[in-house]
Structure formats: C-alpha cells, structure tokens
Amino acid sequence: MSNYPDVRLRRLRRTPSLRRMFDAPMPGPGKFIWPVFVVEGKRQRQKIAAMPGQYRCSVDTLLKELRPVAKSGIGGILIFGLVENSQKDGAGSAAHDDRGAVQQAVRAVHREYPDLVIFTDVCLCAYTTHGHCGPLTADGDVDNDSANEMLAKTAVSHAAAGADGVAPSAMMDGQVRAIRSALSSDGFHQTLLMSYSTKFASSMYGPFREAEQSAPQKGDRRGYQASYGNARLALRESALDEAEGADILMVKPSLFYLDIIARLRESTDLPLAVYNVSGEYSMLIAAADRGWGVLRDMVRESSMALVRAGTDLLISYW
C-alpha cells in the first residue's frame, strides 16, 4: 500500500552525496583478480584480437605489465600458460613441467611482487594435442581418473613454484579431492584451493579459447562442464567441491548466472569468486565501440550486479 505523498523515495537519491551515502560501495581493486596469459620466450607481447587490451606475455614482459596493476592495489592474478604445439601430447604432460611458463612466471612474480596473491589455473586443455581437459579413452571420452592424476601433479608443481593458490578448472569428478590429497602429501598444507566449482558449458568462452589456443579439436566439453539447463546439478558441483576440501568456490561465467551466484551464496559460508569471462568482457567492448553504451558505466554496473548477487572476489579482465 502506497504512503505517498508522505513517503517519497526520491528523497534518498536526490543528490550525488545522498546516493553515495546510501548506495553500496563499488568493490575496490583488492577484490579483483586479473587473469594473465604467459608464453615462453623473451620480450613477447602478443595481441589477442578477440580481447582488446589483453595480451599473451613472456615472463619478463608480464613483470612490466604488472607494475601499474600491482600499484593499484589489485588483490591478485590468475596465471594461464601456453606451450608450442610441439610440446603438447595426449595427456597434457607439459602442464606439470617445472620449467614451464606458468611455473617460471610464479617464481618471477613472487620475487618481484611479494604482496600480490598468485593463483594458477590448473587444467590440461592448453597442453593436450586434442584440446580436451584430460587424456582420452579409446572411445574419445575424457578419462576422468587419469585426468585427476595429471591435474594433481600440475597443482603440486605450481605450489612448489610458490603459488598462493591453485584453481582447477577441468570439471572432473573428484578433482578437488585428488588435488587436496596431493598437496597435503607433498607438504603444501597452506596452499589455497580455489575450485571452478560450477563452471558451465557456455557460449561465452570463444575469445578465451583464441587467447589460450585451447579449443577442442573434436567434439565439445558438454560431457564434463555443467549444463546451463540444470541448476540443481550445477549447484551440487559446488557442494561436492566444498566437501572435498575447496577453500574458495567459483561460478563461471558470471553475468548470465546471477541466480546461481545468489543461490550458492545462500548455501555456503566459503568465499565465493566469479569469473567475468572473455565473452562478457569483449561483448561490452563491442557494444561500446558501436556507440550502444558507455564502457566505463557498463563495467561498473555489471560489476556491482555481481557483488549484489553475493560475490566476494571478481576474476575480471577489467
């Protein structure tokens, strides 16, 4: 029942000062994690056509790119690695090479920016010849348990290099348990485990797959990534990862899944991260380039939507 004219809600938003007083604050840089792409070599800064403003960098270049970012007070980075085709095999063995680009980047960033929190993506798709997230069985399916063994080795190699946290993204059943067990066995009891716990088989990964050169050579990933048509099963993924020892849960993508973020927030006390993915990033840039919106305003509004839904940490290219 309306109490107008005595109640006038416009009083609460009449001036910029009043709006600042009553609005929730925008998340500061300390709540953001920047995904970065690392390649081997020196003085590499390769443009990613589908992701304007983002680059594949060699370790030396990454250290330079991070200077203004670290100075801004950003919370951390999430490192992805790439290898030459000649280094790929059916199992993704190069992912746990101690001399790999990710491992080298972790050591270098840790030395140069000791206060920056370093997460690493733990997956195999960029290291396999077929582009799937684990070794394949004879009938072409991903071998879940063999993949877990490789993921665990990769996570341990990242922790040994000095990563603060590892982030498994392969969506294999039991991957969190396998990684937590391997980390503990090797003495890495303090390493954070940020699970891509509800990662959907989404149409929004195209620019990322160009950046990582990790598209499947045959088939797709719908057999192991969550279906956007089954919310209950998607939420069970996160519940299981929490039970297996995850320290942080994650929903990916973000903007199309605000309902999932809100429901997950209500069901867990773990920190909740969201991945504001490449397609969402490039989509806003494309809209702004066509004059369909002001980029800064769209970025702020969409980021606030994620916070309202219950997000603690924003993995974002912004």
CA separation for the pair 43, 46 (Å, rounded): 10
Q: Tell me which of 31, 88, 153, 199 is the catalytic residue.
A: 199
User: What's the pLDDT score for residue 223?
Assistant: 85
Question: Residues 287-303: pLDDT tens digits?
Answer: 999 999 999 999 999 99
CA separation for the pair 259, 78 (Å, rounded): 25
Burial 210-239 (b: 16+ CB within 10 A, else e): bbbbbeeeeeebeebbbeeeeeeebbebbe
Mean pLDDT of the region 211-223? 76
How far from the centroid of its chain's Cα atoms is residue 183's Cα? 20
Mean pLDDT of the region 142-156? 96
Q: In the predicted model, is pLDDT for residue 103 greater than 90? A: yes
Q: What is the pTM of this model?
A: 0.95
Residue at token pair 């039970």: 243
- The pLDDT confidence band at residue 170, using thresholds 50, 70 and 90, is very high
Q: In the predicted model, is pLDDT for residue 116 greater than 80? A: yes
Mean pLDDT of the region 249-267? 97
Mean pLDDT of the region 55-79? 97
64 is annotated as an active-site residue: no
71 is annotated as an active-site residue: no
User: What's the pLDDT score for residue 210?
Assistant: 84
- The pLDDT confidence band at residue 131, using thresholds 50, 70 and 90, is confident
Pick the closest to residue 88 from 129, 123, 124 (CA basis): 129
Q: In the predicted model, is pLDDT for residue 249 greater than 70? A: yes
Mean pLDDT of the region 122-127? 93
CA separation for the pair 86, 127 (Å, rounded): 10
Q: Is 16 exposed, middle or buried (0-12, 13-18, 19+ CB in 10 A)?
A: exposed
User: What's the pLDDT score for residue 79?
Assistant: 98
CA separation for the pair 228, 113 (Å, rounded): 38
User: What's the pLDDT score for residue 47?
Assistant: 95
Rounded to the nearest integer, the mean pLDDT of the chain is 95
**Percentage of residues in the chain with pLDDT exceeding 70?**
99
CA separation for the pair 58, 204 (Å, rounded): 26
User: What's the pLDDT score for residue 1?
Assistant: 62
Question: Residues 179-195: pLDDT tens digits?
Answer: 999 999 999 999 999 99
User: What's the pLDDT score for residue 191?
Assistant: 98
Spatial CB neighbours of 88, under 8 Å, sequence gap ≥ 6: 94, 127, 128, 129
